[in-house]
Homo-oligomer: A and B are copies of this chain.
Amino acid sequence: MIESLITYRGEVLPQWTDYNGHLRDAFYLLIFSYATDGFMDLIGLDTAGREASGHSLFTLECHLNFLHEAKQGEAFEVRTQLLGHDHKRLHLYHSLHRADAGTELAANEQMLLHVAVAGPKSTPFGEGTAQCLATVAQRQKDMAPPRWAGRVIALP
């Protein structure tokens, strides 16, 4: 069995909820954005690494599926799968789960670009980051393709 890579844990904050007391759509993405920060910490792009290298990630594109409502105060975790990468792009998949029962609340696919912030312009991953990505890819190589990746939005 492959252990899940947990990149963010928290609980639904009052300022993230709508008039019904439910997590508003944009704040699902904020949670996934924090999970990407968590993943960056694992590949040498934490605050110190970004400041030393002048490199960071820019979100090019993302796709979200909202599966269940989340209420104020609910504890959650985000599990992350590296779907692919080349020399400067990262294809990530995050899923948001209730911390207790594990119910999947939402899914998010992201394409990220490695950039030199000073440009800003795209630039290849540094050697350390490239090695970290290879390690994650190797560990996750037998994981099943995720349920909500590769989708097109259309009326049924």
Contact = CB atoms under 8 A, between A and B. Distances in A.
Interface stretch (A1-9, A137-145, A148-156): A148-156
Contacts of A47: 19
Given A66-B58, A150-B154, A30 B20 contact: no
Given A20-B117, A85-B155, 4 more contacts: A27-B30, A59-B66, A91-B153, A150-B154
How often does this chain occur in the complex, in copies?
2
A86 interface: yes
Interface residues of A, number: 40
Interface of A: 19-20, 24-27, 29-30, 32-33, 47, 56, 58-66, 69, 84-86, 89, 91, 109-111, 117, 120, 149-156
A24 B56 CA distance: 13
A32 B25 CA distance: 10
Contacts of A153: 61-63, 91, 109-111, 149-150
A25 B66 contact: no
A63 B63 contact: yes
The 4 closest A-B pairs by CB, nearest first: A26-B30, A26-B29, A25-B59, A26-B33
Given A33-B26, A66-B58, A152 B155 contact: no
Contacts of A25: 29, 33, 59, 62
